[in-house]
């Protein structure tokens, strides 16, 4: 009996242990590095110890590494999705399973998505099977113009999805910001600037990081300790305040330039106002999200060095702030020198990213339109969003030392009919089965003789 218990305990321990990284070489494949260059044929990718060792033509396979013939397949880095809600919603129409918005919360900027991500969410499983290996996930502004602190996650089949917590802060201006702040863009900007000034004041007050007589240190950013006064109530701070003590503390890393600020705007004039913020708050690390009219401000955005996350399928206006929307938006911004990552219009469904990228390749062949080359399009869903997310050189690219996030496709990944056949995250091969694939398999060859008689009508 004792031996059976020991064996059972060992089996449970093995089941709970994370899968180990695999050493593998894939040869004779068409390989896309993800750095903006065109794919190359008859190339090799080597993964060892959870990292990419080498990728490209003429790569020698180290002795002892298992080799797979990739003839007829394409090998790419894993796709990187930005501005998603992966892992925080199961059924969007069922509030109990939907943590995307917190409209009744007393907090806004202090909201932290990292503790609530569900690694077993079917949305994660479905998108892993679509070739997405990393994502930025976030709650949406709802109680205030601030949406809270997003996280960078991996889509691996394990219990530790968070790659980096509190990776960025989100704020909505434009029409959404106006609605959330009282009905006018003027109110949104007043609230926004007041919040940044409050955070600046708090940051200046906490000149000496560490502990004090008031108790344990508060943390902001990546667990950087700051003076506990940042967690004090309004009575402990001078002047009029509009933010809760925790919301104000959460914005300190933003005004210090230690945490990127994702600003949701569409209209050209709103984009101009965002760029002008750098004059008043020079340390801000800005990222523009949306930018349907970004092409009208392309030169200014490029000159400011501010990256953009734009909808890859914005071709018609859906609101008054998108009157100049065009599908050539991304191509024109890239042509002007703007760093642009493609975003999925539906945040909970970024598995269409490669389709949007493929559309922009096709658009480049249309007279009068501005699209992207194949290499540029693929980079906009791999290395560029990785760079914006703070993973530059480590994800979204097949470069020596990069994370072993590798996807094997049965064809050109920017063609609508191509699908992943194998997915590796940190060198660990991932299961591709999910609820949707099980439903497909269940009903693909359904034995109709077993259906109730009513189905014959």
Q: What are the tens digits of pLDDT across the range 425-443?
A: 999 999 999 999 998 888 8
pLDDT at position 157:
96
* Pick from 14-23, 69-78, 340-349: least confident: 14-23
Closest CA to 19 of 435, 426, 434: 426
Dihedrals φ, ψ of 187, to 5°?
-65, -40
Residue 17 has pLDDT above 70, yes or no: no
User: pLDDT-derived band of residue 445, with 50, 70 and 90 as boundaries?
Assistant: confident
CA 323 to chain centre: 27
Between helix 268-280 and helix 185-205 the angle, nearest 10°, is 20
* Pick from 94-98, 255-259, 301-305: least confident: 94-98
All CATH 2.30.40.10 domain ranges of the chain, comma separated, are 18-78+396-457
Buried b (16+ CB within 10 A) or exposed e, 380-416: bbbbbbbbbbbbeebbbbbbeebbbbbbbbeebbbee
Dihedrals φ, ψ of 410, to 5°?
-85, 5
User: pLDDT-derived band of residue 15, with 50, 70 and 90 as boundaries?
Assistant: very low
| pLDDT tens figures, 216-262 | 344 444 444 444 444 444 434 455 567 888 999 999 999 999 999 99
The rounded mean pLDDT for the chain is 87
Residue 141 has pLDDT above 50, yes or no: yes
pLDDT at position 346:
62
Residue 11 has pLDDT above 50, yes or no: no
pLDDT at position 344:
77
Residue 5 has pLDDT above 80, yes or no: no
Interatomic CA distance for residues 424 and 37, integer angstroms? 22
Helix (H) or strand (E) holding 249, with range, is: helix 245-255
| pLDDT tens figures, 58-67 | 999 999 999 9
Interatomic CA distance for residues 380 and 340, integer angstroms? 6
pLDDT at position 443:
83
Residue 282 has pLDDT above 80, yes or no: yes
How many helices (H) and strands (E) would you count in the chain?
Answer: 12, 18
Closest CA to 308 of 320, 317, 318, 295: 295
| pLDDT tens figures, 367-378 | 999 999 999 999
Section 297-303 average pLDDT: 98
Interatomic CA distance for residues 44 and 351, integer angstroms? 26
Q: Which residues touch 248 (CB under 8 Å, ≥6 apart)?
A: 109, 195, 198, 199, 202, 230, 237, 241
| 6 or 75, which is more confident | 75
- Show the tokens assigned to 405: 């996030």
Residue 16 has pLDDT above 50, yes or no: no
Closest CA to 273 of 174, 367, 355: 174
Its sign, for the CA torsion 385, 386, 388, 389, is positive
pLDDT at position 104:
84
All CATH 3.20.20.140 domain ranges of the chain, comma separated, are 82-393
pLDDT at position 243:
84
pLDDT at position 224:
45
Helix (H, G, I), strand (E, B), or coil: what is residue 342?
A: strand
* Pick from 208-212, 223-227, 331-335: least confident: 208-212
Interatomic CA distance for residues 228 and 249, integer angstroms? 10
Spell out the long-range contacts of 58-67 with Cβ–Cβ below 8 A and sequence spacing 24 or more. Answer: 61/25, 61/27, 62/25, 64/23, 65/23, 65/24, 65/25, 66/22, 66/23, 66/24, 66/25, 67/24, 67/25, 67/26, 67/27
Residue 6 has pLDDT above 80, yes or no: no
Please tell me the CATH code under which domain 82-393 is placed: 3.20.20.140
Its sign, for the CA torsion 122, 125, 129, 132, is positive
What DSSP state is assigned to residue 98?
B
DSSP for 8-74, written as a single string:
HHHHHHHHHSPPPPPPEEEEEEEE--SSSPPPEEEEEEEEETTEEEEEETTPPPPTT--EEE-TT-E
Helix (H, G, I), strand (E, B), or coil: what is residue 149?
A: strand
Q: Which residues touch 210 (CB under 8 Å, ≥6 apart)?
A: 217, 225, 227
Section 120-130 average pLDDT: 95
pTM of the complete model beyond 0.75: yes
Residue 345 has pLDDT above 90, yes or no: no
Section 76-99 average pLDDT: 87
Residue 147 has pLDDT above 50, yes or no: yes
Pick the CATH number of 18-78+396-457 from 2.60.40.10, 2.30.40.10, 3.50.50.60, 3.60.15.10: 2.30.40.10
Q: Is 208 exposed, middle or buried (0-12, 13-18, 19+ CB in 10 A)?
A: exposed
DSSP for 271-311, written as a single string:
HHHHHHHHHHSTT--EEEEE-TTGGGGHHHHHHHT--EEEE
Section 45-57 average pLDDT: 96
* Pick from 21-30, 129-138, 154-163, 434-443: least confident: 434-443
| 450 or 391, which is more confident | 391
Residue 385 has pLDDT above 60, yes or no: yes
Residue 1 has pLDDT above 50, yes or no: no
pLDDT at position 102:
87
DSSP for 159-223, written as a single string:
S--EEEEEEEEEEE-HHHHHHHHTSSHHHHHHHHHHHHHHHHHHHHH--S-S-BTTBSPEEETTT
Section 94-108 average pLDDT: 84
Interatomic CA distance for residues 332 and 370, integer angstroms? 6
Between helix 174-181 and helix 185-205 the angle, nearest 10°, is 80
pLDDT at position 212:
34
Interatomic CA distance for residues 294 and 325, integer angstroms? 9
pLDDT at position 95:
74
Q: To the nearest whole percent, how much of the chain has pLDDT over 70?
A: 85
pLDDT at position 244:
87
Beta-ladder partners of 301:
none
- Show the tokens assigned to 306: 């501010």
Closest CA to 247 of 275, 273, 218, 286: 218
């Amino acid at each position: 009996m004792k031996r059976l218990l020991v064996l059972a305990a060992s089996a449970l321990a093995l089941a709970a242990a994370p899968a180990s990284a695999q050493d593998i070489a894939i040869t004779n494949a068409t390989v896309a590095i993800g750095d903006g260059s065109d794919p190359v044929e008859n190339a090799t990718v080597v993964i060892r110890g959870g990292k990419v060792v080498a990728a490209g033509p003429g790569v020698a396979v180290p002795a002892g590494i298992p080799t797979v013939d990739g003839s007829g397949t394409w090998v790419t880095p894993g796709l990187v999705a930005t501005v998603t809600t992966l892992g925080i919603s199961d059924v969007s129409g069922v509030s109990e399973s939907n943590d995307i918005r917190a409209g009744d919360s007393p907090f806004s900027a202090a909201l932290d998505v990292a503790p609530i991500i569900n690694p077993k969410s079917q949305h994660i499983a479905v998108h892993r099977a679509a070739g997405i290996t990393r994502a930025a996930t976030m709650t949406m502004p709802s109680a205030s113009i601030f949406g809270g602190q997003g996280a960078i996650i991996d889509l691996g089949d394990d219990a530790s999805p968070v790659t980096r917590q509190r990776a960025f802060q989100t704020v909505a201006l434009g029409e959404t910001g106006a609605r959330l702040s009282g009905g006018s863009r003027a109110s949104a900007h007043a609230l926004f600037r007041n919040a940044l000034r409050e955070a600046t004041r708090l940051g200046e007050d906490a000149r000496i990081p560490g502990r004090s007589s008031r108790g344990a240190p508060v943390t902001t950013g990546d667990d950087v300790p700051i003076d506990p006064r940042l967690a004090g109530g309004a009575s402990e701070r001078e002047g009029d305040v509009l933010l809760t003590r925790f919301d104000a503390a959460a914005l300190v890393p933003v005004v210090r330039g230690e945490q990127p600020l994702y600003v949701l705007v569409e209209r050209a004039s709103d984009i101009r106002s965002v760029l002008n913020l750098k004059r008043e708050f020079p340390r801000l690390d800005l990222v523009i999200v949306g930018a349907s009219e970004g092409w009208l401000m392309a030169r200014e955005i490029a000159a400011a060095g501010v990256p953009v996350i734009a909808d890859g399928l914005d071709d018609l206006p859906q609101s008054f702030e998108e009157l100049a929307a065009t599908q050539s938006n991304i191509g024109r911004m890239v042509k002007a020198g703007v760093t642009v990552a493609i975003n999925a219009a539906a945040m909970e469904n970024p598995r269409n990213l490669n389709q949007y990228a493929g559309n922009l390749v096709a658009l480049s062949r249309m007279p009068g339109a501005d699209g992207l080359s194949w290499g540029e399009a693929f980079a906009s869903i791999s290395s560029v969003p990785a760079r914006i997310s703070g993973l530059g050189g480590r994800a979204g690219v097949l470069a020596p030392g990069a994370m072993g996030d590798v996807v094997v496709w049965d064809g050109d990944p920017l063609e609508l009919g191509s699908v992943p056949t194998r997915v590796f995250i940190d060198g660990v091969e991932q299961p591709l089965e999910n609820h949707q694939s099980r439903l497909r398999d269940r009903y693909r060859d359904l034995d109709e003789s077993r259906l109730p008689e009513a189905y014959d009508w």
